[in-house]
Amino acid sequence: MQIPDIKNLSREELISIVEMLLKRVVELENELEKYKHPKNSSNSSIPPSKDENRLKRKSLREKTGCKPGGQKGHEGNTLKMVENPDVIQKHIPKYCNYCGKDISNLPYEFVGKRQVIDIPEIKLHVTEHQLYKKVCTCEHETSSEYP
């Protein structure tokens, strides 16, 4: 648009130019409003965690005043040992942990057991691990360990 020389214009022409310019200003301000909206996750690639004034999700659970986890007086449950496991593996020490001597021929004594319960497709498979200990000729007592 070419800028007119306003010195030689009449009052009515000046008023019409001012009205036209005011209309144009209003148009441009309206167009500018589109670009004034801040970017957020719905109108840009900004992640939702960066949105200002984002909605905070509230839990629908009611407060009980209790701490999370098991409460005092709650009886726990644990798996019981099976009387007849499917497999029994004896872990008998073969050498002395102290001096390294071969103790495989010495007598042994039962120390303890644990059971591992594996759940295959249909039937339980229980392995019992039994520990034994031996006393070496150096009088050091060596126990086997659980796997």
Reported as a single tens digit per residue, the pLDDT across 42-79 is 888 888 888 777 777 788 888 888 888 888 888 888 88
103 located within any domain: yes
Domain assignment of residue 126, yes or no: yes
**Is 64 within a domain?**
no
- Position 90 confidence tier, pLDDT thresholds 50, 70, 90: very high
pLDDT band for position 24 (50/70/90)? very high
* E strand residue ranges, 1-147: 87-91, 108-118, 125-135, 141-143
* Residue 98 belongs to a domain: yes
Candidates 61, 42, 64, 60; CA nearest to 51 is 42
Residue 1's pLDDT is what? Answer: 60
- The percent of residues above 90 in pLDDT, for the chain, comes to 35
Domain count, the chain: 2
Span 19-30, mean pLDDT? 93
Q: Is residue 139 situated within a structural domain?
A: yes
Amino acid in position 12 = E
**Structural domain that includes position 15:** 8-49
Residue 81 is assigned to a structural domain of this protein: no
- Does residue 70 belong to any structural domain of this protein? no
Report angle CA 58, 64, 68 to the nearest 5 degrees.
85
Find the Cα–Cα–Cα–Cα dihedral 37, 38, 41, 44, rounded to 10°.
80
CB 125 within 8 A of CB 87: yes
Where does the pLDDT of residue 23 fall: very low under 50, low under 70, confident under 90, or very high at 90 and above? very high
